[in-house]
């Protein structure tokens, strides 16, 4: 078993790759009552074209299959629903689908092993029939209609569509009424058997556990399933240009919503090793906080003038086929926010960063990283999501000191380009 230790936060991760290809990470938290388990597969809404291991023909599936599959996994052949079983045990259970992974999880203080029995049972035993698939289409159809009227989701998705021409990140994770109508049990089983192989999955368990004992508990509950070969994931080629700079939609909102997007060049990211990817991510976080974070001049001016009412959401999302910055919030004048943001980016490019401000923000971000290690949920989700990106989460703590003001200025020039910026607005009809 590999032991990865970080002395800065005094944490250890015990990592083992089992014979069937499953990677298990145990993060001991001695003395902590709360326990968390998450089991994820490297399969999300991006994977709609692939060649399964041992096959030569390409498989193409409708949009929304990964999310549909996540919904169906809870239903068991004996008529029970595993989510109900877990809830009855007094644990908080859930599942979610993202662009690049799907995960099943629970947290608890008691009944951990009973909950582990249930989770590992239902994830390994899919049960799809013509009838239960048809029934699910109605349930997910209602979810799709709800999202169509959800302003926060639309302003995000419109920004993504303004940035990307072909990349499947454009696809709504839940699909559409039309695409899910084409899903049947054979498609679900094909995707399950391709992507829910242990060699494509990772499990993270965090709590007051002995790592060796926990690995044995995991092994006891695994069915006999061999690792499969490589899944060939097929993605369309994405141009480096944006689609259009501005998109506006009218929905029922009390205050206009906005999302500013900046498309990054994935071709450049592909040439980075993982520590460089982490460094770049940290630099972008620092830059966003310097430009429009709570302590920035721009935020204070916009807040004082009543143009924005709270610090915007600031994030950098990336995977192997996309990368972009998102800045989102509410504003009485989104176009003013966008114009002032662009001006401030140019000011920083012309005048450089203030060393004292840079150091202060870097320390603040380091503190936010450290804080994540206090919560079993944050730690577990972080290690799972980073694993699918090929990153060890400890790298953020180790690399932050190597992010200098000069390096951040270089990233500012490389990434924060006006011809890669978009503005999405949702305002009252």
Cα–Cα distance, 291 to 60 (Å, whole number): 43
- Sequence-ordered list of residues with C-beta below 8 angstroms from that of 251, at least 6 positions apart, any chain: 149, 151, 154, 426, 427, 428, 429
Cα–Cα distance, 7 to 12 (Å, whole number): 9
Q: Which of 11, 47, 70, 340 is catalytic?
A: 70
Distance from CA of residue 331 to its chain's centroid? 26
70 is catalytic: yes
Cα–Cα distance, 238 to 267 (Å, whole number): 10
Tell the residue number behind the tokens 């504003």, with chain if given: 331
Closest alpha carbon to 388 in 227, 202, 197: 202
Cα–Cα distance, 319 to 352 (Å, whole number): 29
Contact 117, 106 (CB under 8 A): no
Report strand pairing: 49-51 vs 59-60: antiparallel
Q: For residue 34, count CB atoms less than 10 angstroms from its CB and return exposed for 0-12, middle for 13-18, buried for 19 or more.
A: middle
The set of catalytic residues is: 70
């Amino acid at each position: 078993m590999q032991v990865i230790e970080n002395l800065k936060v005094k944490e250890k991760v015990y990592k083992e790759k089992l014979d069937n290809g499953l990677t298990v990470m145990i993060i001991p938290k001695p003395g902590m009552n709360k326990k968390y388990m998450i089991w994820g597969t490297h399969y999300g809404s991006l994977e709609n074209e692939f060649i399964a291991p041992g096959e030569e023909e390409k498989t193409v599936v409708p949009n929304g299959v990964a999310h549909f599959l996540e919904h169906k996994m809870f239903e068991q052949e004996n008529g029970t629903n595993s989510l109900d079983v877990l809830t009855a045990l007094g644990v908080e259970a859930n599942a979610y689908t993202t662009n690049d992974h799907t995960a099943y999880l629970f947290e608890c203080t008691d009944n951990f092993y009973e909950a582990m029995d249930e989770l590992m049972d239902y994830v390994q035993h899919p049960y799809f029939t013509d009838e239960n698939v048809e029934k699910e289409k109605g349930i997910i159809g209602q979810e799709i209609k709800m999202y169509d009227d959800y302003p926060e989701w639309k302003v995000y998705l419109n920004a993504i569509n303004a940035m990307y021409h072909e990349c499947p990140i454009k696809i709504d994770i839940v699909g559409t009424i039309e695409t899910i109508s084409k899903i049947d049990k054979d498609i679900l089983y094909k995707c399950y058997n391709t992507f829910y192989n242990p060699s494509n999955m990772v499990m993270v368990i965090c709590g007051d556990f002995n790592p060796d004992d926990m690995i044995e508990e995991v092994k006891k509950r695994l069915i006999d399933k061999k690792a499969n070969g490589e899944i060939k994931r097929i993605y369309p080629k994405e141009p480096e240009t944006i689609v259009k700079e501005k998109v506006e939609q009218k929905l029922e909102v009390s205050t206009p919503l906005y999302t500013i997007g900046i498309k990054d060049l994935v071709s450049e990211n592909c040439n980075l090793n993982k520590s460089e990817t982490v460094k770049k991510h940290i630099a972008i976080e620092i830059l966003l906080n310097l430009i429009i974070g709570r302590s920035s001049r721009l935020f204070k001016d916009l807040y004082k003038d009543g143009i924005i009412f709270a610090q915007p959401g600031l994030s950098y999302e990336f995977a192997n086929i996309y990368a972009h910055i998102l800045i989102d919030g509410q504003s009485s004048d989104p176009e003013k926010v966008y114009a002032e943001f662009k001006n401030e980016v140019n000011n920083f490019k012309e005048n450089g960063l203030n060393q004292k401000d840079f150091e202060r923000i870097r320390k603040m971000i380091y503190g936010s990283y450290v804080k994540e290690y206090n919560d079993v949920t944050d730690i577990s989700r972080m290690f799972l999501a980073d694993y699918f990106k090929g990153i060890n989460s400890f790298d953020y703590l180790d690399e932050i000191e190597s992010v200098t003001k000069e390096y951040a200025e270089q990233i500012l020039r490389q990434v924060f380009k006006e011809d890669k910026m978009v503005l999405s607005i949702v305002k009252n009809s």
